[in-house]
Amino acid sequence: MEEKDRSVRSVLANPAFTKLWSNQIFVQLAYNSLNFTLLLWVFKLASSNTAVSGLMLSIYLPPVIFGVFAGVFVDLFDRRKIMRIIDLLMALCFVGLIFFKDYLPTVYLFTFLVNTLAIFYLSSEASAIPIIVKKSQLLLANSLFSTTVFLSFLVGFGLSGPLISLFSIDFVFGLGALVLFMGFLSTFSMPSMRSALDDDALELKNALRKRSIQGIDRLIRTEIRKTINLIKDKPQVLTAILIISMEQAIVGVLGVLIPSFLERVVHIKATDASIVLVIPLGVGMSLGGLFIGKLGHLWPKRRIVATGTALAGLLLGLVGSGPFLNPISSRIHTVLPFFYRPSHAGALVVGSFLLGLAMVSVIVPSQTAIQEETPENTRGKVFSVLNMTMSGLALVPILVIGPLSDIIGPALIFVLIGLTVFWAGITGLYPKYNPLSGFLPKGWRTFLGN
C-alpha cells in the first residue's frame, strides 16, 4: 500500500495538491523571469558587478528582515488567502517596474518589495504541502514541486533573454503581471489550508485582531523562541537548514558573477546565458527531481545530499579553471553570440546540466527532512527560519564577491568556491576523514538519522 502511495498518479489524484501546484507554476514563472531579467537589466544600466550586488542585496535582504515574522504569520491564517493577496500585490509590482525601470534606486525598491512578498508566499507554500499529502508521499510531492520550480526557472530564465531581445523588457514585465493575475484567479479554487493552533498562537491571533502592540510583540517573541528551540533540539532539521542555506548562498554568488563571467572571460553575450546556462541547468534540475522523487527512497538522504554537493563543487572548479587551462581564450576580446563560441558554449551547456542534477540532489532530500521532522503548527515558522538563514548567509558573500570580482575577475572566484564545496561534499560522504570531525561530520552523520 505504501508503494502505491508513492506513485505519481496517487499524488496527482489529490485535487488539493494539484490546485496548490498550479498556483506555484504561475508564481514561479513570473518570479524567475523577473529576477533574471533584472540581473541583465541592472548590468546593462550600470556595467558593474557592484551594481548587480546591490540588486542581489535587494533580493536577499527581505528574508533576513521579515523571515521569522512571515513564518509566525502564515501559521496563524489560511494559506490560501495569503497566497491570493500576494499574487495580486506581486502583479502590481511588475506593472510598476514598467514605469520606473530606468532608475536604479526604484529598481532596487521594487525588487525588495517583490522578494518581501515572496518570503510570505514560499513559507505558505512549503508548509502547506504536508497538510494536503500523506507523510509517505512527501519526498515525491517535494520532487514534483521542485521539478516545477526548476521547469519554471527554465522557462522564466530561459525565455527572458530572447524576449528582451525580440520585444522589450517592458514586454517581460507585462507578461509577468498577467501570469501573476492568473495565479490570483487560481487561488479561488484552492481548498482552505489552515494549521491547528496551540494556545500561544491563538492568543497571538487575538492580539493581532485587537491591534494590541504590546501583546503582539510579546507573543511573537514567544513563537520565535519556541521555533529556535525546536530547531536546536533536532539535528536533522538544523543540518538540512544549513545545507540548503549554503547552496542558496552559492546560487546568489553565481548570479552576481554570471554576466561578467560570460562577457569578460568566455566572451559570450550575457543575454545568451538563457541558452548556455539556464536552460541546461533547468533541464538537469527537472530530470533530477523526477529521478529522486521516484527512486530517492532507496538511498540514505545524507548520501544523496553529500554526493550532489561534491559533484557541484567539482563542476564549479572546472568552470573557473577552464580559462586558465586554455590560454587562447585570454587573447579573445570580442563579445559574440554563443554560436560563434561553440567549444565554450558546449562546455557550459554540459556543465550546467550536471550542476542542475547536483543541486536538486541537495534541495529535495533536505527539504523533505525539514517537513518530516517538524510539527504542523510550527512548520511555517521553521521554513521562514530556513529562508532567513539562506538569505543571511548569502548576503556577506554577495556583498563581497561583486567588488572582489571587479578586482580579480570571476574565474578565480569560481575555482575557490568549487574547491570549498567539493571538500564539504567529500567530508559528508566520508566524515571519518574530515579533520574537523568534532563539528561538521556530526551534523552530516545525524542528517535524518542515516
DSSP assignments along 108-177, one per residue:
HHHHHHHHHHHHHHHHHHHHHHHHHS-GGGHHHHHHHHHHHHHHHHHHHHHHHHHHHHHS-HHHHHHHHH
Of 7-16, 30-39, 256-265, 343-352, which one has max mean pLDDT?
A: 30-39
312: Cβ–Cβ under 8 A, 6 or more apart, which residues? 247, 250, 355, 358, 359, 362, 421, 422, 425
Least confident of 204-218, 290-304, 359-373, 395-409: 204-218
What pLDDT score was predicted for residue 89? 95
Q: Tell me the β-bridge partners of 254.
A: none
Residue 228 has pLDDT above 80, yes or no: no
CATH number at residue 172: 1.20.1250.20
Question: How sure is the predictor about 63, in pLDDT bands with cuts at 50, 70 and 90?
Answer: confident
State the Cα–Cα distance between residues 163 and 245, nearest whole angstrom: 31
Mean pLDDT across 134-152: 73
Query: Of the candidates 315, 322, 321, which has an alpha carbon nearest to the alpha carbon of residue 344?
Result: 322
Mean pLDDT across 228-255: 77
More confident residue, 376 or 54: 54
Mean pLDDT across 362-380: 76
Mean pLDDT across 358-383: 77
Question: How sure is the predictor about 447, in pLDDT bands with cuts at 50, 70 and 90?
Answer: very low
What pLDDT score was predicted for residue 95? 93
Residue 162 has pLDDT above 50, yes or no: yes
More confident residue, 235 or 82: 82
What pLDDT score was predicted for residue 178? 93
Question: How sure is the predictor about 341, in pLDDT bands with cuts at 50, 70 and 90?
Answer: low
Render pLDDT for 117-129 as a digit per residue (tens, 0 to 9). 988 888 888 778 8
What pLDDT score was predicted for residue 216? 65
More confident residue, 433 or 182: 182
Render pLDDT for 166-203 as a digit per residue (tens, 0 to 9). 788 888 899 989 999 999 998 898 888 877 666 666 66
CA-to-CA separations, 136 to 3, 5, 11, 12, 252, in angstroms, rounded: 9, 7, 10, 14, 33
More confident residue, 279 or 90: 90
State the Cα–Cα distance between residues 300 and 421, nearest whole angstrom: 20
What pLDDT score was predicted for residue 112? 93
What pLDDT score was predicted for residue 6? 59
Contact between 333 and 387 (Cβ < 8 Å): no
C-alpha cell at 250: 552559492
Domain extent, residue 49, equals 2-449
More confident residue, 98 or 257: 98
Question: How sure is the predictor about 450, in pLDDT bands with cuts at 50, 70 and 90?
Answer: very low
**Single pTM value for the model:** 0.66
Mean pLDDT across 242-260: 76
What pLDDT score was predicted for residue 343? 55
Of 62-71, 74-83, 139-148, 314-323, which one has max mean pLDDT?
A: 74-83
Count the domains in the chain.
1
